[in-house]
Structure 1
Amino acid sequence: MVEKLPLNISQKIQIRRKDAKEWFNSSVQDIRDGYYININMPFIKERPLVLRRNEKVVVRFFSEQSSFNFSTKVIGEVSDNIKLYRLDYPQEIIRVQQRNHVRLPVILDIEYTLPEENKDNKKKIVFRKTTTVDLSGGGMKLLTREKIEPGTKILLVFSLPLKNRPELIEINSLVARCIKVEPDREVYHIGIKFKDINLNQEDKIVRFIFEKMAQQKRLR
């Protein structure tokens, strides 16, 4: 029995040729379980992905809890006021376990604290406020006014503004690098590597990145 795809009509997806690296943005227009999937013409900015019959492709997408991909082939074109591609229904769906390192430039409000400073439980934990410079499934870059040495443990707390609802994320992390970006001022870029991120948190971050990329494409 063919596995049912956790896909919905109008859901955003990304697609690439099997041997290529560039991901193009598209969306699902119709699904017939076990038979085919119709998708919009994929684009990067204004550049379309022109596909031919029997061409092999890879599709990836994100659900509420997980990220997935599958390999398939183009089985034709469909005309429904707009040009659609029809993909063969996949025989195998892969849940993506590895971290996604696509890095998205984005500004998010972040609170952080250094656990080494909070060893004395009698003291109230103090969080500093700052913002991100970018974000990926494996880490982020912070803009701070203090130097934090590589190897320092750091606890991050932030709200991830997903399309359906905001999600509070709390991750124990590690400072990977610290670069002073203004020679006359105490301003630093702090490279962060997520340490204890779970799959659910990672999926939400990757889904947020995907949603922002799709939104930016629509605004261009």
Structure 2
Amino acid sequence: MVIAMPMSKGIPVILQRGEVFFGRVVTDGVPFEFTSTLLGKQLQPLPVWTIAIPYNIKKIQQRAFVRIDTMLPVKIAEIVDDKVIEDQIVTAVTKDISGGGAQIAVNRPWQIGTKLMVTVTYPEIGPITVKSEVVRVQQPQPDRMIFWVGVKYLGISEKDRSNIIKFIFRKQLEQRRKGL
């Protein structure tokens, strides 16, 4: 396969024949990552690489909101028939958050599509309660009753979303200053 020679800040990327590299391509607006090996290169008449057929091709999910890993306290109540079941509140912590949802580390799973009332308590902001929907459930360690439940926010005010995004940017700034 022949591709245009990759450039970084206007300078050709230099690899040696046989080196493995990771690439990214966008097809019909959908980004993909892949792994390949450089077989050869030429500068004339155009700078190109000859590469092995790509493998480990993965679609890249591009999120609408920046996501940051952070542990914040969460209270979760299930919504059944449009009623919040308040006598069965589950406490948990976030694994990560964004302006569009959160991933929560909790000791029980919910089915994908389940509606939840999720309250995350943010430092300096306080609690933000949002109707949410379960979109992903993972059990990272099959021998432990810990689940990562991904939720997307269904009914969030722009004020609350803005406060969450500001919190995320402050956290990113702190992490950069600490060199994390």
TM-score, normalised via structure 1 length: 0.50
Aligned to 1:151: 113
Query: 1:178 matched to which residue of 2?
Result: 137
What is aligned with 1:115? 79
Is 1:190–2:152 an aligned residue pair? no
Q: Which structure would you say has the larger Rg?
A: 2
CA contact (8 A) 1:100 1:136 kept: no
Q: CA RMSD in A?
A: 2.3
- What is the deviation of 1:166? 2.8
CA–CA distance in structure 2, aligned partners of residues 187 and 117 of structure 1: 27
Are 2:68 and 1:104 aligned? yes
Q: Distance in 2 between matches of 1:141 and 1:213?
A: 18
In the alignment, is the contact (CA less than 8 A) between 2:125 and 2:163 conserved in 1? no
2 CA distance for matches of 1:137 and 1:170? 13
Identity of aligned residues (%): 27
Amino acid paired to 2:76: Y
Hey, what's the Cα distance between the residues in 2 that align with 1:118 and 1:192? 17
Classify the secondary structure of the residue corresponding to 2:87: coil
Q: CA deviation at 1:100?
A: 5.0
1:44-59 aligned within 5 A: none
Count of matched residue pairs: 118
Query: Aligned partner of 1:114: which letter?
Result: E
Cα deviation, 1:22-63, whole Å, max 9, x if unaligned, reads xxxxxxxxxxxxxxxxxxxxxxxxxxxxxxxxxxxxxxxxxx
Name the CA shift for 1:124/1:191 in 2 (closer, same or farther; >3 Å): closer
Deviations 1:60-83 (A, max 9, x none): xxxxxxxxxxxxxxxxxxxxxxxx
Unaligned runs of 5+ in 2: 1-62
Runs of 4+ in 1 over 6 A off after TM superposition: none
* CA–CA distance in structure 2, aligned partners of residues 147 and 126 of structure 1: 14
Partners in 2 of 1:125 and 1:118 — Cα distance? 15
Report how far residue 203 of structure 1 moved: 0.1
- Any idea what SS the aligned residue of 2:171 has? helix
Give how far 1:217 is off: 1.2
Give the drift of 1:118. 8.6
Query: Which structure 1 residue ranges, 5 or more long, are not aligned?
Result: 1-98
Q: Report 1:124-135 matches (<5 A).
A: 125-135=87-97
Deviation string, structure 1 residues 111-163 (Cα, Å, up to 9, x no partner): 001011894x9x853311100000011011011111211000010112211xx
Structure 1 pair 124–112 and aligned structure 2 pair: CA distance change class (3 A)? closer
Task: Flag the 1:124–1:103 CA change in 2: closer, same or farther, 3 A.
Answer: closer
Tell me, yes or no, if the aligned pair for 1:173 and 1:192 is still in contact at 8 Å.
Answer: yes
* Residue 107 of structure 1, CA deviation: 0.5
